[in-house]
Amino acid sequence: MEALLRWAAELGVSDSLSAPASSSCLGRSLVVADFPDAGGRGFAAARDLRRGELVLRVPRAALLTSDRVMADDPRIASCVDAHRPRLSSIQRLIVCLLAEVGKGKSSGWYLYLSQLPTYYTILATFNDFEIEALQPGEKCYVGRDKVG
């Protein structure tokens, strides 16, 4: 995590009170914290915050966008452009993310990508069985076999 925060600081990410030359982009207003009951890691306030106060600065250059990835890698841009009329903006981003993940440690986004979860437990990622199990009714399931 320390390497990721140093990398983010180099890109200009900072909390509202971090010194510009700091080796970490957080610590005075925000800290990385673990929230096991809410899905994992996130930001927590390191001090009392005022309503409307700016607490995190993230320059555009620090955002992983399809435009940024394609500007940095002409090969990816060429591939995406060849299929652009048939790809939604989400699909273009997915292609760019997969291309960056495929680069492994040679990706400029490696430190960020290596921190992402490998599995998400949100409704959008549920399979048909998991979705059906959430439907109201008198159903009872044990494992993947329906009982009752």
Distance CA 44, CA 27 (A): 10
Check residue 69 and give its pLDDT: 95
Domain assignment present for 31: yes
Domain assignment present for 127: no
C-beta neighbour count of 7 within 10 angstroms = 17
Domain that holds residue 1: 1-61
Q: Which residues sit opposite 140 in a β-bridge? A: 147
Helix (H, G, I), strand (E, B) or coil at 57: strand
Taking the whole predicted model, whether its pTM rises above 0.85 is answered as no
- pLDDT per position in the chain (148 positions), as tens? 788 888 888 888 888 665 554 556 676 788 888 877 776 778 888 888 888 888 888 889 889 999 999 999 999 999 999 998 899 999 999 999 999 999 999 999 998 888 887 766 677 777 788 777 777 765 555 555 444 4
Domain assignment present for 66: no
Name the domain count of the chain.
1
Cβ density class 81-115: b for 16+ within 10 Å, e for less: eeeeeebeeeebbebbbebbeeeeeebbbbbbeee
Domain assignment present for 11: yes
Domain assignment present for 68: no
Report the run of H or E that residue 128 belongs to, with start and end: helix 128-133
Domain assignment present for 114: no
